[in-house]
Amino acid sequence: MSTTVNETMEIVYEKPKTLTESPTHYCPGCGHGVVHRVLMEVIDEMGIGEQTVGIAPVGCSVFAYNYMNVDMQGAAHGRASAVATGVRRVLPDKYVFSYQGDGDLAAIGTGETIHTVNRGENILMVFVNNGIYGMTGGQMAPTSLCGMVTSTTPYGRDASFIGHPLKITEMIAQLPGAYYVARHAVHTPAAVRKLKKAFKASFEFQKEKKGTCFIEVVTNCPSGWKKTPLEANEWMEKNMFPYYPLGDIKVPAAMK
Amino acid sequence: MSTIQHDEHPKLMKGNEALAEASLRAGLQAYFGYPITPQSEILEYLTEQAPKHKDVVILQAESEIASINMVYGAAGAGARTMTTSSSPGISLMQEGISYIAASELPCLIANVQRGGPGLGTIQPAQGDYFQATKGGGHGDYHLIVLAPSSVQEMADFVFEGFRLAEEYRMPAMILTDGALGQMMEKVCLPKYGSLPKKEANWTTTGKLESRERNFITSLHMESEKMELVNLHLQDKYRKLKQEVRCELINTKDADILLVAYGLSARICGKAMEIARGKGINVGVIRPITLYPFPYEIIASFADSMRMFLTVEMNAGQMVEDVRLAVNGKSSVYFKGRMGGMIPTPEEIILEIEALAEKQRTMGQSAGYL
Q: What is the CATH number of the domain that holds A212?
A: 3.40.50.970
- Distance from the Cα of A73 to chain B's closest Cα (Å) equals 5
pLDDT band at B368 (very low <50, low <70, confident <90, very high): very low
Round to whole Å and give the CA distance between B194 and B192.
6
- CB nearest B66 (choices: A55, A74, A82): A82
Boundaries of every domain in chain B? 11-199+218-242, 248-361
SS3 assignment for B216-244:
ECCCCCCHHHHHHHHHHHHHHHHHHHHHC
Of the candidates B65, B77, B107, the one whose C-alpha atom is nearest the C-alpha of residue A123 is B77
Q: For residue A112, list chain B residues with Cβ-Cβ distance below 8 A.
A: 62, 65-66, 69
Q: Can you tell me whether residue B201 is helix, strand or coil?
A: coil
| Closest CB to A51 among B59, B70, B206 | B206
Specify the number of domains making up chain A.
1
pLDDT at A124 over 70: yes
In the prediction, which pLDDT does B364 show?
56
Asked whether A42 and A94 are in contact (CB, 8 A), the reply is: no
pLDDT at A209: 98
Integer Cα distance of B359 and B129 in angstroms: 30
Of A130, A132, A15, residue with least CA distance to A68: A15
Chain A residues with CB within 8 Å of chain B CB: 49-53, 55-56, 62-63, 65, 69-76, 79, 82-87, 89-91, 94, 111-112, 115
Could you give the CA distance from residue B32 to residue B70 in angstroms, rounded to a whole number? 7
Q: Which of B72, B93, B104, B219 to mutate to test the interface with A (most CBs of A within 10 A)?
A: B72
Asked if pLDDT for residue A53 goes beyond 80, the answer is yes
Mean of pLDDT over chain B:
96
Average pLDDT value for residue range B272-291: 98
A84: helix, strand or coil: helix
Which residues of chain B lie closer than 8 angstroms to A87, CB-CB? 73-74, 76-77, 204
Per-window interface: B 1-40 vs A, CB < 8 A: 29-30, 32
Distance CA A48, CA A124 (A): 14
Query: For residue A212, what pLDDT is reported?
Result: 98
Tell me if A137 is assigned to some domain: yes
Chain A positions touching B33 (Cβ under 8 A) are none
Among all residues of chain B, which has the CA nearest to that of A96?
Answer: B206
Average pLDDT over residues B162-180: 98
- Chain centroid to Cα B199, Å, comes to 26
Residue A227 domain-assigned (yes or no): yes
Q: Which of A49, A71, A76 sits opposite B204 (nearest CB)?
A: A71
| Residue A68 CB contacts under 8 Å (≥ 6 apart), including other chains | A18, A19, A20, A36, A39, A40, A54
CATH topology of domain B248-361: Rossmann fold (3.40.50)
The pLDDT value recorded for residue A5 is 63
Class of the CATH domain delimited by B11-199+218-242: alpha beta
Indicate whether A2 pLDDT > 70: no
CB-nearest partner of A72 from B30, B79, B215: B215
Nearest CA to CA, how far is B32 from chain A (Å)? 9
Residue B1 has pLDDT above 60, yes or no: no
Q: pLDDT at residue A174 above 60?
A: yes
Please compute the mean of the pLDDT values over residues B37-47 and round it to a whole number.
98
Measured from the Cβ of residue B278, the count of other Cβ atoms closer than 10 Å reads: 11
Q: Is the CB of B69 inside 8 Å of chain A's CB atoms?
A: yes
Tens-place pLDDT, residues B197-207? 999 999 999 99
The C-alpha atoms of residue B263 and residue B260 are separated, in whole angstroms, by: 8
The helix or strand, by DSSP H or E, that contains position B23, with its residue range, turns out to be helix B15-25
Contact A90 B77 (CB under 8 A): yes
Average of per-residue pLDDT across B309-325: 98
Bigger pLDDT: B369 vs A5: A5
* Rounded percentage of chain B residues whose pLDDT exceeds 70: 98
Nearest to B86 by CA among B109, B64, B111, B65: B111
Does the beta-carbon distance from B69 to A73 stay under 8 Å?
Answer: no
Give, as one character, the DSSP assignment of residue B98: H
**For A90, nearest residue in chain B (alpha carbons):** B74
Report the percent of chain A where pLDDT is more than 90: 93
DSSP string, B106-153: -EEEEEEEB--STT--SSB--TTHHHHHH-SSSSS---EEE---SHHH
Q: Taking 70 as the threshold, does the pLDDT of residue A1 lie above it?
A: no
ipTM of this complex prediction, to 2 decimal places: 0.95
A53, A69, A82 member nearest B204 (Cβ): A53
Written as one string, the DSSP assignment of B237-306 is HHHGGGG--EEEES-TT-SEEEE--HHHHHHHHHHHHHHHHTT--EEEEEESEEES--HHHHHTT--TT-
> Does B99 lie at the interface with A, CB-CB under 8 angstroms?
yes
Total CB pairs under 8 A between chain A and B = 127
Q: Which residues of B touch A56 (CB under 8 A)?
A: 217
Q: Which residues on neighbouring strands pair with residue A126, listed in sequence order?
A: A99, A215
Measured CA to CA in angstroms, residue B75 lies from A83, A89, B294 at distances of 10, 11, 29
State the pLDDT at residue B263.
98
- Which residues in chain B touch residue A111, judged by CB atoms under 8 angstroms apart? 62-63, 65-66
Q: What's the confidence (pLDDT) of residue B3?
A: 75
- A115: pLDDT strictly greater than 70: yes
Residue A11 lies in a domain: no
Looking at the partner chain, which of B66, B74, B215 has a beta carbon nearest the beta carbon of A90?
B74
Which residues constitute the domain of residue A56? 32-250
Q: What is the pLDDT of residues A135-147, one digit of tens each?
A: 999 999 999 999 9
Share of chain B above pLDDT 90, in %: 95
CA distances from B170 to A125, B32, B354 (A): 29, 18, 43
Q: Are strands A132-133 and A178-185 parallel, antiparallel or unpaired?
A: unpaired
Contact B148, B52 (CB under 8 A): no
- The pLDDT of A39-60, averaged and rounded, is 97
Q: B315-321, long-range: CB within 8 Å, 24+ apart, which pairs?
A: B315/B127, B317/B126, B317/B127, B317/B129, B317/B130, B318/B126, B318/B129, B318/B259, B318/B261, B318/B287, B318/B290, B319/B259, B321/B133, B321/B293, B321/B295
Which of A44, A61, A73 to substitute to test the interface with B, most B CBs within 10 Å? A73
Nearest to B30 among A73, A82, A89 (CB): A89
| pLDDT of the residue at A4 | 65
**Most A-contacting residue of B53, B69, B71, B208 (CB-CB within 10 A), to test interface:** B69
Burial label, A161 (beta-carbon count in 10 A; 0-12, 13-18, 19+): exposed
Dihedral sign, Cα of residue B314, residue B318, residue B322, residue B327: positive
Please answer whether residues B340 and B121 qualify as being in contact, where contact means their C-beta atoms are separated by less than 8 angstroms. Answer: yes
The residue of B216, B220, B229 whose CB has the most chain A CBs within 10 angstroms, and thus the best one to mutate to test that interface, is B216
What pLDDT, on the 0 to 100 scale, is given for residue B362?
80
Beta-carbon separation of B65 and A86 below 8 A? no
pLDDT for res B152: 98
Give me the mean pLDDT over the B316-341 stretch.
Answer: 97
Where does A16-103 have alpha helices with state H?
32-46, 64-67, 80-90, 102-103
